[in-house]
Amino acid sequence: MSTVDLVDYDEAVRRFDPVIGIEVHVELGTRTKMFDAAPQTFGAEPNTAVTPVSLGLPGALPVVNGTAVEYAIRIGLALNCQIAETCRFARKNYFYPDVPKNFQTSQYDEPIAFDGHLDVELEDGTVFRVEIERAHMEEDAGKNTHVGGSTGRIQGAEYSLVDYNRAGIPLVEIVTRPIVGAGERAPEVARAYVQTLRDIFRALEVSEARMERGNVRADVNVSLRPTPESPLGTRTETKNVNSFRSVERAVRYEISRQAAVLDEQGTVIQETRHWHEDTGITTSGRVKSDAEDYRYFPEPDLVPVAPSREWVEEIRANLPELPAARRRRLQAEWGYSDPEMRDVINAGAVELIEATVAAGSSPAAARKWWMGELARTAKTQEVELAELPITPAQIGQLQQLVDAGRINDKLARQVLEGVLAGEGDPEQVVVARGLEVVSDDGPLLEAIDAALAAQPDIAEKIRSGNLGPVGAIIGSVMKATRGQADAGRVRELVLERVNG
């Protein structure tokens, strides 16, 4: 692979205005496929989840999956789109082995949803509005596996296998209008947009939306122009970018690469490009087909889809709470400040805190644990918060032990350590490690007397009314009880002892 010149990112965005466009495909989690009753499965034996329709056998006739239409409408409504009164499917003709019919049934000029927008919140709280051109229904292709080459691509392969289990799975493709005005933050906007969409798919319960399974796939279009006033430049389309981080990296890389191309040759070619996860670069794919190459025409085997206005309104009325609204509600319920809530969101801790509060912790305490001690542990171990071997229920239990006065904050940290080390629930760790606060005055008084006897000058000062050194005595008692004393109670007892 030849090395490509890149312009340093900061310089590229100083000299050019990036414009991006994102196409997101989401696989809908319906029981059956888009146009036939073949089941949707993941990981089944190849070519077992098929019918004559998904195999494109002659004479097989498609039928539209009503649930898929409902899911597409849900998505359209959540993205503030208009829902078409009537729309049709079209045949997008091309020959490739993963498309057994030699055409993909898609929507072309009559999408089910159009003219929407999505407000995307960036990590620092800035809200960026992304305009949605359309969301249309289509079917997924099968999956080719190229065997024998070193790259897994068709070039150099000895033979190819094709699995039609995925062929015909319902997809919704969401296409943005060109996203302008993001400037140097274009890569971040791209990632935040895809992430926000993923959260919406999950909230709408239209898809499991697992990026790593390819349930959500993004194609990122990027172009540069000299200034924000210039006409749009020529775009490249980087296909199938399958993680949030990769979306950001791919946009960033294309900006640096196109800047170098413009500097040297003056023109970018309109083409599709492949994203290489391992090296973080894109390479040339094929010269982009224009729509006319696909010879689109209306699908004659399917009737138009005409969702009644009553049905659309019913779906709208039953939309679940969307992530942005939910976060606003939780923030109000929890009484977090904007920066506190943002940190919680960025740490991926919203669900964890919600579950911890449900398990009996106060919102403030839940945040303290997840964003403090546990965030530090996760960082050291380089894992996500949710991957730590501790559950919200256990944090709830821990906090209840603190609230009940059975352990103090310092002991709670040791309990936490025990839970993380796999020693069981907080209660079990407290018992096994003997960490309970000493609530019996007897042992406390013993420790106090010993401390006073060891430091007679301090005892004298306290007796003469100078309360400054009480802390030193409390410190000694804490040490003697391995931190298991209630400092407030120790203070009371010290004063009683000295004055009484």
Map residue 170 onto helix, strand or coil. strand
State which H helix or E strand residue 416 sits in: helix 409-420
Q: Rounded distance, CA 188 to CA 22, Å? A: 13
Q: Rounded distance, CA 404 to CA 460, Å? A: 35
**Residue 286 identity:** R
CB nearer ligand ADP, residue 212 or residue 290: 290
Only segment of 107-115, 230-238, 242-250, 277-285 that touches ligand ADP (CB under 6 A): 230-238
CB nearer Mg ion, residue 34 or residue 407: 34
Q: Is residue 232 close enough to count as binding ligand ADP by CB under 6 A? A: yes
Q: Is residue 20 close enough to count as binding ligand ADP by CB under 6 A? A: yes
Q: Is residue 184 close enough to count as binding ligand ADP by CB under 6 A? A: no
Quote the tokens at residue 299.
């699908």
Q: Where are the beta strands (DSSP E) in 100-182?
A: 103-106, 113-121, 127-139, 143-147, 159-163, 170-176
134 has which bridge partners?
Answer: 114, 175
Quote the tokens at residue 218.
């993004």
Instruction: State in angstroms the smallest separation of the CB of 107 from ligand ADP.
Output: 11
Pair type for strands 143-147 and 216-225: unpaired
Residue 223 binding result from ligand ADP, Mg ion, none, given CB thresholds of 5 to 8 Å by partner type: ligand ADP
Q: Is residue 21 close enough to count as binding ligand ADP by CB under 6 A? A: yes
DSSP category for residue 418: H
Q: Chain-centre distance of CA 22, in angstroms?
A: 17
DSSP category for residue 387: G
Q: With CB under 6 A, what is the number of residues at the site for ligand ADP?
A: 16
Q: Is residue 425 close enough to count as binding ligand ADP by CB under 6 A? A: no
Q: Is residue 223 close enough to count as binding ligand ADP by CB under 6 A? A: yes
Window 149 to 178, contacts with ligand ADP (CB under 6 A): 175-178
136 has which bridge partners?
Answer: 173
Instruction: State in angstroms the smallest separation of the CB of 95 from ligand ADP.
Output: 18
24 has which bridge partners?
Answer: 174, 218
Continuous H helices in 347-408: 350-358, 363-371, 373-381, 392-403
Q: Rounded distance, CA 232 to CA 145, Å? A: 37
CB nearer ligand ADP, residue 177 or residue 368: 177
State which H helix or E strand residue 285 sits in: strand 281-287
Residue among 220, 221, 254 nearest 235 (CA): 221
In the complex, residue closest to Mg ion by CB: 23
In the complex, residue closest to ligand ADP by CB: 21
CB nearer Mg ion, residue 138 or residue 299: 138
Residue with tokens 């539209």: 64
Q: Is residue 19 close enough to count as binding ligand ADP by CB under 6 A? A: yes
Q: Among residues 235, 257, 342, 367, which is the contact residue for ligand ADP, using CB under 6 A?
A: 235
- 413, 377 contact by CB (below 8 A): no
Residue among 205, 211, 246, 240 nearest 75 (CA): 205
Indicate the burial class of 40 (C-beta count within 10 angstroms; 0-12, 13-18, 19 or more).
Answer: buried
DSSP category for residue 40: P
Residue 106 binding result from Mg ion, ligand ADP, none, given CB thresholds of 5 to 8 Å by partner type: none
Q: Is residue 110 close enough to count as binding ligand ADP by CB under 6 A? A: no
Q: Is residue 25 close enough to count as binding ligand ADP by CB under 6 A? A: no
Q: Is residue 107 close enough to count as binding ligand ADP by CB under 6 A? A: no
Q: Is residue 401 close enough to count as binding ligand ADP by CB under 6 A? A: no
CB nearer Mg ion, residue 49 or residue 241: 241
**Residue 257 identity:** R
CB nearer Mg ion, residue 23 or residue 121: 23
CB nearer ligand ADP, residue 235 or residue 273: 235
Instruction: State in angstroms the smallest separation of the CB of 290 from ligand ADP.
Output: 8
Q: Is residue 221 close enough to count as binding ligand ADP by CB under 6 A? A: yes
Only segment of 233-241, 277-285, 412-420, 483-491 that touches ligand ADP (CB under 6 A): 233-241
CB nearer ligand ADP, residue 234 or residue 414: 234
Window 374 to 393, contacts with ligand ADP (CB under 6 A): none
Q: Chain-centre distance of CA 331, in angstroms?
A: 19
CB nearer ligand ADP, residue 176 or residue 207: 176
Instruction: State in angstroms the smallest separation of the CB of 94 from Mg ion.
Output: 13
Q: Is residue 430 close enough to count as binding ligand ADP by CB under 6 A? A: no
Binding residues vs ligand ADP (CB under 6 A): 19-23, 175-178, 221-223, 232-233, 235, 237
